[in-house]
Amino acid sequence: MKKFELLEEYFGHKSFRPLQEEVVDAILDLKDILMILPTGGGKSLCYQLPSLMMGGVTVVVSPLLALMHDQVVALQANSISAAMLSSMQTHEESDQIEKRLKKGMIKLLYVAPERLTNSYFISMLHYININFFVVDEAHCVSEWGHEFRENYRELSLLKEQFPDIPIAAFTATATNSVERDIANQLKLDNPLRVRGSLFRSNLTIKAQHRIKDGRLQLLEFLKSHRGDAGIIYTLSRKSTEAIAQFLQTKGIDAKPYHAGMPTEVKNSTYADFVSDRISIVVATIAFGMGIDKSNIRFVVHMSMPKTLENFYQEIGRSGRDGLEAETLLLFSAQDIVQQKFFIDDLPDTPYKQHVYNKLDSIVRFANGEECRHQTIAKYFDDDIDRCMDKCDNCLEPDIKRIDITTASRKLLSAIYRTSQKFGLHYVVDVLRGSREKRVLENHHDKLSVYGIGDEYSKAQWLTIADRLLELGAVEIGEFKVYKLSEFGAEIIRGVQEVDLREDRLTVKKSIIKKIADSFSDDYDQEIFEKLKSLRTEIAQANNIPPYIVFSDKTLKELTIKLPKTKEDMLMVHGIGEVKYERYGAKFLALISEIAR
């Protein structure tokens, strides 16, 4: 069968996305491939489609059990024979898969990299008709990447053991140096290198300095995403539970997820999220690594990620269906300090400096006032124009800057006058004339700086301190004690000036305008909800996530076109012959009933 017929029948698409056809053709020509394409760009189809057109089995290496599971379920739902071998299966289940594999009954086999270091498994593969290998999340191969995994480094054995079988490597994030390292480590033979644009046109990126714990900012953001599916990332297990509980008290259906939870609880939360039984998961970064849920509308970071690679991977989990999505990064200078503490514990090697450089990049990104999409693209050696309307810096390019030199001198003087032996909150209490017992016992109410800072709230003084920390005017020592740097001393002497974006000192009260999706002006919300309910019923009956039945994008197009026949329905995005045969009649019946 020709590739366009398969594309429509099994995947419901009428045409390829940019770069997909080029890679499909190269795989069919048995060439090695290295593709770098943003999350949501359609990397999986690039190897799943040619696999259907070739004899033998495609072996897919992935580090993410959740992703493997989701992709196998999705493929099986499209009548494509797929399986995975991992620790999730019993010995009996693994034996059954191996028997089917040897009989040529499986088209795509997903395995973890650890499996390929198993001599028994490698020996078995020599007796299997393999058409090509796929290395997914290929950045894990490189020690200069952000998620280096030792087992991935050993994948060089693929070319050693199977020199005549091509390899197709895929990743969403790789600088030029990481790209070269992937090709070298996998021993790719003159590979076709395909690099897609880093620009995600449906993704709006925003960053704000976190005010206190960021919870009020989070609630403000969520006002424009009522009922939307989203992920909220935090750094610690404790904070995932605390924020989830906080949201629950506000009537928001959120659940926590972290590695310390019992497996059955984690699995339950994961299943509830992909099945649309809950809208929000509050999680550490382990969650979502391989999630294939297409209708995630937002991602929030409650603190600064370790690297730009991490950040880009994590925000990429939203808007995979091509509809509008939004991301929010909340950060403070304290995040920088915390990350540096972790790095300081590393051995003094070139890698340690490499990690420091990555931290500097994400700090510059968070504080930067240039187009955020453009900044990300530059980091990954891509060159794009300003987004114009898909990030906060482009949406609000002329935010006023104010001079805070006088305020900075007050704060720095207070740090100095209190002998550089106290934490920031205490110093601000002195500045604002607090009558707390500790201040009075230390006789700091007698200092010349006592009470000279009542023009700002405590939250505003903490923001000013953030700015000074960013500039290196102060340093945080042991027990979070604030100390002046030479640059800070120059500010006190009047040699240096300090400014700040005015909005950083202003808590915005207006509701953040919701980013309307591409169908917002056209689709009928009431019909959409009815179709969504039917999708949920079908998903539950088949024990699969709702998005595998039809994506939100497909449902919205159905509300607009209201197809009357099979032929009409096959013209809708995401509906091919396979999905029509499984679900089409039920949706046509409901649409017919609605249209009466």
In order, the DSSP letters of 458-477 are HHHHHHHHHHHHHHTSEEE-
* pLDDT beneath 50, residues of the chain: 507-521
Q: Could you tell me the fold of the domain covering 3-195?
A: Rossmann fold (3.40.50)
- Cα separation values, 15 from 6, 8, 170, 517, 578, Å: 11, 8, 21, 22, 17
Statement: 525-595 belongs to CATH 1.10.3720.10: no
- Distance from first CA to last CA of the chain, Å, rounded? 40
Across the beta sheet with 57-61, the strand order is 82-85, 108-111, 57-61, 130-135, 167-171, 33-36, 192-195
> What are residue 298's DSSP bridge partners?
230, 326
Residue 583: closest CA among 553, 548, 556: 548
Q: 355 φ, ψ to 5°? A: -70, -40
Are 468 and 408 contacting, i.e. CB atoms less than 8 angstroms apart? Answer: yes
The pLDDT score that the predictor gives to residue 374 is 92
CA triple 154-155-160, angle to 5 deg: 100
- Containing 589, the helix (H) or strand (E) segment is helix 585-595
The CATH number assigned to the domain with range 405-497 reads: 1.10.10.10
- What is the C-alpha separation between 34 and 13, in angstroms, rounded? 24
The DSSP secondary-structure symbol of 112 reads -
- What are the distances in angstroms from CA 308 to CA 203, 233, 336, 376? 16, 15, 13, 7
Rounded to whole angstroms, how far apart are CA atoms 166 and 23? 13
Within 10 angstroms of residue 357's Cβ, the number of other Cβ atoms is 10
Distance CA 225, CA 222 (A): 5
* Tokens of residue 350, six digits: 């070139």
pLDDT, position 290: 60
Parts of the chain belonging to CATH 3.40.50.300: 3-195, 203-395
Q: Give backbone dihedrals phi and psi of 519, rounded to 5 degrees, phi first.
A: -110, 5
Q: Give CA–CA dist 354/359, Å, rounded.
A: 9
Q: What is the CATH number of domain 203-395?
A: 3.40.50.300
CB atoms within 10 A of CB 153: 15
Spatial CB neighbours of 478, under 8 Å, sequence gap ≥ 6: none
Contact in structure between 550 and 561 (CB atoms under 8 Å):
no
pLDDT for 236: 86
Burial profile 252-273: b = 16 or more Cβ within 10 angstroms, e = fewer? bebbbbbeebeeeebeebbeeb
Q: What type of residue sits at position 344?
A: D
* Type of residue numbered 370: E
What is the distance between the alpha carbons of residues 233 and 239, in angstroms, rounded to a whole number? Answer: 9
CA separation for the pair 554, 546 (Å, rounded): 12
CATH 1.10.150.80-classified regions of the chain: 525-595
- Say how far apart CA 31 and CA 168 lie, in whole Å: 8
Domain with CATH 1.10.10.10 in the chain: 405-497
Helix (H) / strand (E) element for 178: namely helix 176-185
Output the pLDDT for position 1.
62
- In terms of Cβ atoms closer than 10 Å to its own Cβ (0-12, 13-18, 19+), residue 5 is exposed
